[in-house]
Amino acid sequence: MKQISREQWGSVLSSLPEPRLKEIVDRVSAGLRIRPKVVPQSGLGMLKMKDSALNESYYLGEFPMSSCWLSVSTENGQIAEGASVIMDDNLEQSVRLALCDAILSARLPGYEEIDALLLEGMNRRGLVEAERKSILARTRVDFSLLDDVGDANA
């Protein structure tokens, strides 16, 4: 958790298989009292851009979005808040990520398991990145060989 900033927690945890994250979050949050600060929502967001020539705003399109902001309290009276906003219409995943945010930020009981998930997620992201680099390397084209061909019609 020390090398991963809070802003990256949701992204890193989202790289894990959903059932794995669900299993751990359900176990860690079993004894917690969870109250929404704002009703969790799922819907469409609008991507707003500015025209570079006339500096006028326009909407490029829609994308799925879910958000959650909640308060968590333990039996000992510890209170923490967590939030998440994801580009997905999966409301349950957004709630899970907000729970992870609250538990990790306040180091509530069970945060070690979620911390281990962060490391697992970083390893998974590293494997995906290595695979993407490998695919990119295999599709690279050397256009300098075209100069050696010459003009067949000359």
pLDDT in tens, the chain (154 residues): 458 899 999 999 999 999 999 999 999 999 899 999 999 999 999 989 999 888 899 998 999 999 999 999 999 999 999 999 999 999 999 999 999 999 999 999 999 999 999 999 999 999 999 999 999 988 888 777 776 665 656 5
Q: How far is CA 42 from CA 36, 80, 87, 91, in A?
A: 14, 23, 10, 6
Q: Exposure string (b/e) for 14-50, b if CB count within 10 Å is 16 or more?
A: bbbeeeebeebbeebbeebeeeeeeebebeeeeeeee
Q: Name the CATH architecture for the domain at 1-48+58-111.
A: 2-Layer Sandwich (3.30)
- Please state, as a whole number, how many other Cβ atoms lie within 10 Å of the Cβ of residue 9: 23
Q: What is the pLDDT of residue 154?
A: 54
In this prediction, residue 151 carries a pLDDT of 60
Give the per-residue pLDDT at 144.
75
For position 120, what pLDDT does the model report?
95
What pTM was estimated for this model as a whole? 0.81
Please tell me the distance from the alpha carbon of residue 11 to that of residue 86, in angstroms, as a whole number.
Answer: 9
Q: Report domain extents, the chain.
A: 1-48+58-111
pLDDT of residue 141: 81
